[in-house]
Amino acid sequence: MNFKDKNAIFCALDMKDTDLAVSFTKSILDYIDGVKIGMEGFYSMGIDGYNRIQDLKLPIFLDLKLHDIPNTVNSAIKSLLPLEPFMLNVHVTGGSEMMLSAKKAIEESINEKPLLVGVTILTSMNESSFKEQGLKLDIENQVTKLAKLALKSGLNGVVCSPHEAKKVKDICGEEFLTVVPGIRPRIADSQDQKRIMTPEEAVKNGADILIIGRPLTRSKDPKSAAKEIRISIENNDN
């Protein structure tokens, strides 16, 4: 997949039922570039479910947000590599040593080498979320600091909200991937996300990979919803 040529849509398959996840993915196959399997889906469907989705020949972003001591993360990555995901992620707040250990596991592997990206600050959080923890942080500045640390640690990009994508690109370079959740068409609700944008806005603001879940998975007509999002992005590129 050439991210220079197009903005990629990855559908977040936050589902517990493998048959449903497979049939749903087939229904929107023509309008997406990959799927994201997070903790809910992976822990529920297991490796057998993962393999059935992989049989659809779409890139898989295995979104497990690893965050532990360096040795544990290194071992966890090695355990996941035989699944041949397109992309894995770790929390940048685990520190440079942890990220370097994760990267080392990938570099030493005989399996396909996935992209490795770092989670900066969850899109469910805002300044109020930090305040209740006794922290005083400017989210945009904190995200860019974490992005620079991820770049220094050899990661391929970061997960950030669409609001920070452009600044991350400005600081870390165009080749540094911005994986962007918090994508909501104007008619959709935000519910679990606070720092959100429409697909068109996110594209304009530097998003490389758009992670889209509920606007597709909870749509009455997922195929039409996926097609509409795809067209809106392509129109924005022209």
Identify the active-site residue in 6, 36, 65, 103: 65
CA dist., res. 50 & res. 64, Å (int): 13
In the block, tokens 């690893």 appear at: 66
Closest alpha carbon to 58 in 87, 99, 15? 87
CA dist., res. 224 & res. 220, Å (int): 9
CA dist., res. 155 & res. 126, Å (int): 25
Annotate 211-228 with b (16+ C-beta within 10 A) or e (fewer): bbbbbbbebeebbebbeb
Strand partners, 89: 117
Q: Which two tokens stand for residue 124?
A: 């469910």
Active site residue 148: no
Angstrom CA distances, 15 to 10, 125, 181, 205, stand at 15, 23, 17, 29
Residues 62, 66, 70, 73, CA torsion sign: negative
Q: How far is CA 174 from the centre of its chain?
A: 17
- Which residues participate in catalysis according to the annotation? 65
